[in-house]
Structure 1
Amino acid sequence: MKLLQSLAFTVLAYSFGYSQNCNCTENYNWIKNTFEENDAGYQYIIDKKGNNAYQTHNQLTANRIAKISDYNQCKIELENWLKFFRQDHFYIGLTDQAKSNQKKLENFQSVTANPIQLEKFKKEILSKKSYSIEGLWKAKNLLIAVKKINNEFIGSVVETKSKYKLNDVIFKISADMSSATYFTSNYKPESIQQVQYLGNNVLQIGNRFFEREFPVLAYENKIKEYFQIKSSEKPFGYKKDENTVYIYIPTFDDSKSEIDQLFKVLHSEIIKTENLIIDIRDNTGGQDQSYSSVISYLYTNPIQLVLPEFYSTELNNQPMKVIIENPSVDEQTKKMYKELYDKLERNRGKFINLSSNENVALIKREKMLDFPKNVGIIINENNLSSAEEFIFMAKQSRKVKLFGRKTGGALDVSNMVDLVSPTGDFEFSYCVSRSKRIPDNAVDDMGIHPDYYFDSSIPEVDWIDKVKEIMSFWK
């Protein structure tokens, strides 16, 4: 969830110098001090876990990082330090400078395969009595030839518009499809334990998906749909059958116009169809305003919205000052932010409700739509932040039931702002607001639980069919 929606990213830049090795201790001390002084969730966890536990955690972290000069290892330790407070809603990332230095430290060499003669390769594939994953596979900006060599399937580049070069090996998969090694764009090998061959046309290696290009084989509709869900960056939807409209929303980040347009196109179908399925698997959030138009299709009664309170510090208030001083911002907007900024500045070191003097707001609509009669929302562990806020609002409707797995739990402290460390090595994001829900109705690290839980015996590719099956009984 981004600060007051319109602020989006606010990166505070520092002057920094070049360093070959990572000074992890210096970066840790800066992140630790910044978090202690400014994060809205810091004191809540200290009060909950105790200062002694925190000091022990700090000492153990300091001991580990003292020996680290590797940027990636430092990143892991910084993330582990932050996980004392919560499992998500913070961010540690390497800057371009650090990535460049890390590449020099690691100096991974590309693994290359013998050049593939495409026409000869295609003839070899077609001559086989049965098909495996051998063939041509496409991913974003890549065409990959997969060929079995000894006891491995080797995937190498035959066409590229990316950082990979021709004949670079992208992955190696064991003959029994139980594990793989994936080579990242800087050629670092990653060990992968999840490999799936879905139908004839989708190959999943960890969280990466590839679609078959050749040979052309029968494509099951549910496999094609699943690939679209896992690869699409934009919302999509359609009338699935006479009783169901299906909509997938991959993100709420700067997607309001796309979501609004999709619902506008499908409006006539939605308001005469009994069931609506909204799939937000892997939607990690964005801006609350992105889903505002969706609420009308779910609405049955006033929706309670628990308001956040903002922690006022000089650093936390800086984004509003940037807007006020921006010559491209109109005067009315500047005036609004100036009033908010002044209110925060008058209350340094305190939590302030910027919206009103109430802890809870009610969202009301003039009427409830007759259709859809039932709304199923598909969720999983990758739903965070604004996606969870949407779920919180939606589940208050009598029409709505949740399906899937519990969400990730990153909502109680929110509204992230972004910084760059003084060394220029790390991007760092923390939160400036906390919800009045805590501690009585906390979400962080616990998530929001579905009404219908899908355990591991139900493959994710079958989730939509399972939701349809359950909803068919709601007559």
Structure 2
Amino acid sequence: MRIILTIAITFFSTYLIAQKKCDCLKVLDYITNQIEKNSASYAHQVIEYKRQNEYNKHKTQTLKIATEITTEKECLGIVQYYLSFLRDSHQELYVTNEYYPFKSFNDTTSVKKFLQENVENHKLKKNNSKKILGNWHYKNGLFSVQIQKNKHKGREYIGVLTENFNNNNQFLGYKGDLKIEFYKNYKGELFAIFWSFGQKPSSYKVELNGDTLKLGRSLTFYRNDKDIKKVDDFTPSDSTYFKELSRATNYIRINTFDYENKSLIDSIIKMNRQKLVSKENLIIDVRNNGGGSDLSYYPLLPFIMDKKSYQNPIAASSIWVSNDNFQDYYNERYMYGINTKQDSLNADREIEELRKHIGGFEPFVKTTSKIDLIYSYPKKVYILQNRKDASSTEGFILTAKQSAKVKTFGENTGGYVSYGEWRKLGIPNFPAWISMTQKKMIFYDGSDFETIGIQPDIELNPNFEKDWTNIVQKEIEK
């Protein structure tokens, strides 16, 4: 929504007609109702933890802001702000293709028209570097924003682009375009809605420390351009393979634990078993591994674990059995792993057992696991992890860390491990949907990794990630 106070009335009228109008209060009423009935993270964090009072304060603030919102794009931001109350990395907001009136961001004319019609634009002010106000430079120098006071639509501040933004021959933003919205939540803490250059919102806690401004873990801004750092553009290999690094150290790269990759992992381990059990050290690189199936990493455990019995890091899981969630499981009861009539009967029996627990979480029993074989070699196993590790990859790391042979290097993982089994929640007459989680995970020691991630034993500088393998190899072979 492009608003400049000096704009001509005729242009403003055209702008209003071009807007995609939205009854944001109606959208939020629908979403809050669905989340409160069906979300596992809501049932866990609000109902079980008895946080209704805090939640209601957040919800009231969000609904009040929604009364001032008139467009789909603005409403996306408020929906994202509402969802930020729940720490659930699997429960996310996604835009649909209907959000964009063009097929590619290479269509510069259509992109410019979309930005002019849907993105607020503000005049830059004299740079007033006071507390959070003033100009800030993104950590790699890609763009800069000016943070200004702005009390409209429930906000405290806004951050706008200081220059037109082009990247890879694509026009993605005008000088003055809204990039960040800052809100004070029910606890008086600053929360930010950050708009990607694709105009998709994400929510982050705000941390201001002198001349450094951080939004969550990933977005860092500096007051002084001299602090801009040359960022390592390294991306771990998007493949799975084995490599001998030296006479003492082997290396396995696993880019995904997707079930489709299991056969490749199995074959690599089988083909290189003799090499694996003849060297002192093994480096397992799971950086940027978004997870998949636990079955994919089980063949690695004999080389990693120092005991045959181990605790499952996720000791149990429990479905939030709302009426809608039950119906979803009922409809899909024959979709997976049904090959015989007995499989169908078992599925029917399981769904009838689930029916008994409608209105609450299903009961659970904490479990342990056992492997038939463990190898004495490798003597030491080193796991490389980063912030893009998620879900079952985090389960693999938690399993491996039970072994005295294992040490982890890198940075905190993504924190996508406490909730799962999401289903698609479509939103009527709105260009977005939500991946609503239906199951919570239970940990043996009551740990909470959601959005925080699993801390490595030894932290490595993410600005030099391309050197991590060499750093670890030198450390273990010295």
Query: 1:358 aligned to 2:347?
Result: no
Q: Deviations over 1:360-385 (max 9, x none)?
A: x2221222112211111111222222
Gaps of 5+ in 1: 1-18, 111-151, 158-167, 172-182, 199-203, 205-225
Identify the residue that residue 374 of structure 2 maps to in structure 1: 368
Deviation at 1:395, TM superposition (A): 0.6
Aligned counterpart in structure 2 of residue 244 of structure 1, from 231, 245, 249 = 249
Query: 1:454 aligned to 2:464?
Result: no
Aligned counterpart in structure 2 of residue 333 of structure 1, from 331, 343, 360 = 343
Aligned counterpart in structure 2 of residue 390 of structure 1, from 396, 403, 419 = 396
Classify 1:76/1:284 alpha carbon distance in 2 versus 1 (closer, same or farther; 3 Å). Answer: farther
Q: Deviations over 1:136-163 (max 9, x none)?
A: xxxxxxxxxxxxxxxx999767xxxxxx
Identify the residue that residue 468 of structure 1 maps to in structure 2: 473
Moved more, 344-353 or 265-274: 265-274
The correspondence of residues 4-403 of structure 1 with structure 2, limited to 5 A, is 20-46=20-46, 47-48=48-49, 50-86=51-87, 88-100=89-101, 107-109=110-112, 196=230, 204=233, 226-227=234-235, 229=236, 232-254=237-259, 255-301=261-307, 302-305=309-312, 306-324=315-333, 329-330=338-339, 331-353=341-363, 358-359=365-366, 361-403=367-409
**What CA distance in whole angstroms lies between the structure 2 residues aligned with 1:297 and 1:452?**
21
**What CA distance in whole angstroms lies between the structure 2 residues aligned with 1:242 and 1:30?**
61
Amino acid of the structure 2 residue aligned with 1:108: V
Identify the residue that residue 417 of structure 2 maps to in structure 1: 411
Moved more, 39-48 or 67-76: 67-76
Identify the residue that residue 10 of structure 1 maps to in structure 2: none
Is this contact kept in 1: 2:20–2:71, CA < 8 A?
no
Is this contact kept in 1: 2:44–2:440, CA < 8 A?
no
Classify 1:343/1:156 alpha carbon distance in 2 versus 1 (closer, same or farther; 3 Å). Answer: closer
Q: Deviations over 1:212-247 (max 9, x none)?
A: xxxxxxxxxxxxxx54x1xx4332331122222222
**TM-score normalised to structure 1 length:** 0.65
**What CA distance in whole angstroms lies between the structure 1 residues aligned with 2:336 and 2:51?**
46
Amino acid of the structure 1 residue aligned with 2:346: M
Number of matched residues? 359
Q: Deviations over 1:412-448 (max 9, x none)?
A: 2222222322335222112222223388322223322
**What CA distance in whole angstroms lies between the structure 2 residues aligned with 1:272 and 1:25?**
64
Is this contact kept in 1: 2:27–2:430, CA < 8 A?
no
Is this contact kept in 2: 1:41–1:431, CA < 8 A?
yes
**What CA distance in whole angstroms lies between the structure 2 residues aligned with 1:70 and 1:240?**
56
Aligned residue for 2:359, secondary structure, equals coil
Classify 1:296/1:25 alpha carbon distance in 2 versus 1 (closer, same or farther; 3 Å). Answer: farther
Aligned residue for 2:60, secondary structure, equals helix
**What CA distance in whole angstroms lies between the structure 2 residues aligned with 1:438 and 1:394?**
15
Deviation at 1:107, TM superposition (A): 3.9
Query: 1:437 aligned to 2:443?
Result: yes
**What CA distance in whole angstroms lies between the structure 1 residues aligned with 2:71 and 2:448?**
36
**What CA distance in whole angstroms lies between the structure 2 residues aligned with 1:411 and 1:349?**
24
Q: Deviations over 1:389-426 (max 9, x none)?
A: 11111111121111111222232222222232233522
Is this contact kept in 2: 1:20–1:101, CA < 8 A?
no
Is this contact kept in 2: 1:323–1:329, CA < 8 A?
no
**What CA distance in whole angstroms lies between the structure 1 residues aligned with 2:426 and 2:93?**
10
Moved more, 398-407 or 414-423: 414-423
Deviation at 1:39, TM superposition (A): 1.6
**What CA distance in whole angstroms lies between the structure 1 residues aligned with 2:438 and 2:29?**
20
Is this contact kept in 2: 1:278–1:378, CA < 8 A?
yes
**What CA distance in whole angstroms lies between the structure 2 residues aligned with 1:329 and 1:424?**
36
Is this contact kept in 2: 1:403–1:451, CA < 8 A?
yes
Is this contact kept in 2: 1:320–1:338, CA < 8 A?
no
**What CA distance in whole angstroms lies between the structure 1 residues aligned with 2:67 and 2:371?**
57
**What CA distance in whole angstroms lies between the structure 2 residues aligned with 1:470 and 1:27?**
54
Deviation at 1:196, TM superposition (A): 4.3
Aligned residue for 1:459, secondary structure, equals helix
Deviation at 1:54, TM superposition (A): 1.1
Classify 1:25/1:240 alpha carbon distance in 2 versus 1 (closer, same or farther; 3 Å). Answer: farther
| Higher RCO (CA < 8 A, seq sep 6+) | 1
Aligned residue for 2:438, secondary structure, equals strand
Amino acid of the structure 1 residue aligned with 2:316: L
**What CA distance in whole angstroms lies between the structure 2 residues aligned with 1:423 and 1:463?**
47
Aligned residue for 1:241, secondary structure, equals coil
Deviation at 1:328, TM superposition (A): 11
Amino acid of the structure 2 residue aligned with 1:341: I
Q: Deviations over 1:91-125 (max 9, x none)?
A: 21012223348999x94249xxxxxxxxxxxxxxx
Deviation at 1:276, TM superposition (A): 1.1
Aligned counterpart in structure 1 of residue 427 of structure 2, from 421, 424, 429 = 421
Amino acid of the structure 2 residue aligned with 1:393: T
Classify 1:250/1:63 alpha carbon distance in 2 versus 1 (closer, same or farther; 3 Å). Answer: farther
Is this contact kept in 2: 1:320–1:337, CA < 8 A?
no
**TM-score normalised to structure 2 length:** 0.65
**What CA distance in whole angstroms lies between the structure 2 residues aligned with 1:85 and 1:51?**
12
Deviation at 1:303, TM superposition (A): 1.2
Classify 1:286/1:67 alpha carbon distance in 2 versus 1 (closer, same or farther; 3 Å). Answer: farther
Deviation at 1:281, TM superposition (A): 1.6
Classify 1:403/1:192 alpha carbon distance in 2 versus 1 (closer, same or farther; 3 Å). Answer: closer
**What CA distance in whole angstroms lies between the structure 1 residues aligned with 2:467 and 2:34?**
45
RMSD: 3.9
**What CA distance in whole angstroms lies between the structure 2 residues aligned with 1:49 and 1:350?**
15
**What CA distance in whole angstroms lies between the structure 2 residues aligned with 1:38 and 1:442?**
22
Amino acid of the structure 1 residue aligned with 2:311: Q
Gaps of 5+ in 2: 1-18, 114-163, 174-195, 200-218, 222-227
Amino acid of the structure 2 residue aligned with 1:288: D
Is this contact kept in 2: 1:323–1:334, CA < 8 A?
no
